[in-house]
Chain A
C-alpha cells in the first residue's frame, strides 16, 4: 500500500517521539503531566503497531494496536488520574523539582549507554537497528522507578518499561501467538489491584510518598 521507505521513516519518527515522551516524563515533578505523557506514549506506540501492521500485512499487529490504545492509552491512565483527583490537588513530588537537571542528564546517559550496549550485545544477533529504541525505553522506565518516591510516578515507570517490551516484541517477532495481547489484557487486572493498594496507602499514610519504614529495612 505504502512504499516501504515511507513506512520505515514513519516508524523511526514515532520511535524518536516515544523516546522524547520518556525524557519529558523524567523531567516532570508534577504527577498529572507524567500520567498524560504515558497516555501520549501509549497512543504513539499504538500508531507504530498499526504502521508495522500495514508494512507486514500482519493482522495480529492491528489487534495489538487497538488493544494498546484502549488499555494503555485510555483505561490505565484514567484509573491513575482518578487516583490523583482523589487528592483534590495537582500532586507535586517533593524534592524532584531541584533534581530535574540531574535527572535529565542521567536519562540522556542511560540512552547513550543503552544504545552502546545494544550495539555490542544485541545487534550481532538481532539485525534490526530500531530495536535499540525499545531497549533504551526499558532502561528509562526502570530509571523512573528507582529515581522517584511517588507511587503513581513509579507506576508510570512500570507502564513505560512494559511499553518497551511490547515495542521490542512487535519489532523482533510480530507473529508471536497471542502472548503479547495477553500481556496487555493482564495489565488491566494489575492496575485495578494497584488502585486498591494505592487507596489503602492514601487512607493509612495520607500520602503516596511514604517515608522509609524502619521495620522494612535490613
Chain B
C-alpha cells in the first residue's frame, strides 16, 4: 500500500509539468501561464509530499532516497518561482525568437526532464534525461534573439552534447562491468570488475562535469547564463548544474568500498577545487553582472563536487549547499532581470547606483550576493562550512586551505563588485551615478517597481536564510563532534 502511494506521487510529480507543457500550446490567450503555474504548483506539492514520506528504495521505475527527494523539491520549487517571475520578465522581450506559448511549454518540458533525471531508477535513463535537458533548454537560451544569445545557444548545445556523449560511454561501461543499470540493484552490491567501473566514473566526471560547468570543460557556461532570459538563467544555475552533478554522484557512488574508490575520489576533488579556484579568480574580472553570477555558480559547483566526493558530513554540506544555492542564486538572477529590464544593459559600468532608481531590487541584489558567497547565516555558509570541516577532519589540510582561499576570494570579489554596482556613486563620471538622468538632466527618481518582480526573489532569498537557520544545530553538532 505504502509503495503504491509513493509510486503515484512520483507519477504525479512527472505528469504535472508534462501535461502543462502540452496545454500551454493550446491557442488560447493566457492559457500557457495558467497551465504552467498549476503544473508547477502540483509538482512542488507532490515533491514535498514525497519528502514527507521519507520512503527509501525502488518503486517500479523510480528510485527514492534522501538525495532524490531533496533534489526533487529544489527543482520543482525553482521551476515554479521561475514561472512566476517569467510573467513579469518576458514583457520586456521585444523581439522573441518564438511565441511565448512555446516559451512556457519549453520551460515545463525542461523542468520535466530534470525531475525525470533525479527520480528514475536507471543510470541509463538518467543519461537520457540529462541529454534531454539540453534539447529542451537550448532554444530558451536564444529567446531574446540577439546575435550573442544565438551564438551562446549554439555553443551550449554543441559543447554540452559532445561532453554528454562521453557519459554515454560511461553508461555503456557500467553495463558491461555490472550487467545491470538499475540503481536499486547496483547500490550496496559488491562491485565486479573494478577497473572498468573506475574508468566509467572517470568518463562520467568528464561528461556530466561538462554540463555542471566543471573546469576546464566550462566554456559554454558563462555565455549561456548571461544570454538566457533571467528566469531561465536562474533555472540553469540553480537546478540544471546540480542535476548534472547528481548524475555524476550516482555513478560515483557505485565505486564505494572498492579499491579504486580512493583514486577516483581524489580525481573528483581535484577537478572540484580547480573549478572553484578558477571561477573565483575569473569572477573578479567580470564587467557583465550576469556573467559574474554565472562564475559564482561555477565556484559553488566546484565546492559541491568536493563535498560530494569527500562524503560524510561533507556530502551533507554539499546537499545543503545545492538547495541553499539554488534559492539564493535564483533570487540573484531574478534581481538581475529587474536591473536588465530597467537599464537595458548587462554592463556593470552602465549600471551604477541601482538603489537610487530601483530601491528594493538594489537591496535585494546585494543581500543575494552576500548569500551566494556564503555569508552567515545563509544556507550556503552552512554548506561551505560543513565541507571545510570534513576536509579538515579527514586530514586533508592542503584541500582545506585551498577551499578557504576560494571562499574568501569569491566572497570579496563578488561583494565588492555588487556593492559598487548597487551603491556606487559618481567615481567613473557616469551619468546615472551622478544622480542625474543623462537625457533630461533631472535628478533620478526612484521608479515604481513591479510587486511580482520583488516578491519572487524576496521569497527565494528568505528560504535560503531559513535553511541556514534551520541547519545551525547540525552545524554545531558537526563542529562539536570534530572537536573544532
User: CA of A124 to CA of B196 in the docked complex: distance in angstroms?
Assistant: 10
User: CA of A124 to CA of B150 in the docked complex: distance in angstroms?
Assistant: 44
Do residues A201 and B151 form an inter-chain contact, with CB atoms below 8 A? yes
User: CA of A205 to CA of B166 in the docked complex: distance in angstroms?
Assistant: 31
A179 interfacial by beta-carbon distance below 8 Å:
yes
Interface residues of B in 108-161 (CB under 8 A from A): 124, 127-128, 131-132, 134-135, 138-139, 142, 145-148, 150-155, 157-158, 161
A55 interfacial by beta-carbon distance below 8 Å:
no
B176 interfacial by beta-carbon distance below 8 Å:
yes
Contacts A177-B124, A200-B145, A204-B146 hold; do A216 and B152 have CB atoms under 8 A apart? yes
Do residues A204 and B158 form an inter-chain contact, with CB atoms below 8 A? no
Do residues A213 and B148 form an inter-chain contact, with CB atoms below 8 A? yes
- Min CB distance, B465 to chain A, in Å? 32
- Min CB distance, A185 to chain B, in Å? 10
A74 interfacial by beta-carbon distance below 8 Å:
no
Using Cβ atoms and an 8 Å threshold, which residues of chain A touch B128?
179, 182-183, 186
Contact string, B166-186, partner A, CB cutoff 8 A, digits 1/0? 101101110110000100000
Count residues of B near A (Cβ-Cβ below 8 Å): 50
A190 touches which one: B97, B134, B148, B153 (CB < 8 A)?
B134
Do residues B148 and A216 form an inter-chain contact, with CB atoms below 8 A? yes
A162 interfacial by beta-carbon distance below 8 Å:
yes
Which of B245-253, B265-273, B282-290, B332-340 forms part of the interface with chain A? B282-290
B288 touches which one: A190, A194, A215 (CB < 8 A)?
A215
Contacts A138-B165, A161-B165, A179-B128 hold; do A204 and B145 have CB atoms under 8 A apart? yes
Using Cβ atoms and an 8 Å threshold, which residues of chain A touch B97?
196, 200
A16 interfacial by beta-carbon distance below 8 Å:
no
B466 interfacial by beta-carbon distance below 8 Å:
no
A205 touches which one: B147, B161, B162, B288 (CB < 8 A)?
B147
B162 touches which one: A161, A176, A197 (CB < 8 A)?
A161
B195 interfacial by beta-carbon distance below 8 Å:
yes
Using Cβ atoms and an 8 Å threshold, which residues of chain B touch A196?
97-98, 139, 142
**Can you name the residue of chain A whose Cβ is closest to the Cβ of B173?**
A172
Interface residues of B in 352-368 (CB under 8 A from A): none
**Can you name the residue of chain B whose Cβ is closest to the Cβ of A176?**
B175
**Can you name the residue of chain B whose Cβ is closest to the Cβ of A173?**
B176
**Can you name the residue of chain B whose Cβ is closest to the Cβ of A189?**
B135
Do residues B131 and A186 form an inter-chain contact, with CB atoms below 8 A? yes
B199 interfacial by beta-carbon distance below 8 Å:
yes
Do residues A186 and B135 form an inter-chain contact, with CB atoms below 8 A? yes
Do residues A125 and B195 form an inter-chain contact, with CB atoms below 8 A? yes
Using Cβ atoms and an 8 Å threshold, which residues of chain B touch A122?
199
User: CA of A204 to CA of B152 in the docked complex: distance in angstroms?
Assistant: 13
User: CA of A103 to CA of B175 in the docked complex: distance in angstroms?
Assistant: 36
Interface centre among A141, A142, A165 (most CB of B within 10 A): A165
Interface residues of A in 190-218 (CB under 8 A from B): 190, 193-194, 196-198, 200-201, 204-205, 210, 213, 215-216, 218
User: CA of A126 to CA of B196 in the docked complex: distance in angstroms?
Assistant: 8
B299 interfacial by beta-carbon distance below 8 Å:
no
Contact string, B215-234, partner A, CB cutoff 8 A, digits 1/0? 00000001100110000000
- Min CB distance, B122 to chain A, in Å? 9
Using Cβ atoms and an 8 Å threshold, which residues of chain B touch A215?
148, 226, 288, 346
User: CA of A175 to CA of B168 in the docked complex: distance in angstroms?
Assistant: 15
Q: Which A residues have a C-beta under 8 Å from some C-beta of B?
A: 121-122, 124-126, 138, 141-142, 145, 151, 154-155, 157-158, 161-162, 164-165, 168-169, 172-173, 176-180, 182-183, 186, 189-190, 193-194, 196-198, 200-201, 204-205, 210, 213, 215-216, 218
Q: Which B residues have a C-beta under 8 Å from some C-beta of A?
A: 97-98, 124, 127-128, 131-132, 134-135, 138-139, 142, 145-148, 150-155, 157-158, 161-162, 165-166, 168-169, 171-173, 175-176, 181, 193, 195-196, 199, 222-223, 226-227, 282, 285-286, 288, 291, 346
Q: Apart from A158-B158, A179-B171, what are 12 other A-B pairs with CB-CB below 8 Å?
A: A124-B195, A125-B193, A158-B161, A173-B175, A189-B132, A190-B161, A200-B97, A200-B142, A205-B150, A213-B148, A216-B152, A218-B285
In order of increasing CB-CB distance, the 9 nearest A-B pairs are A179-B124, A173-B176, A169-B172, A189-B135, A125-B196, A200-B150, A216-B223, A165-B168, A193-B138
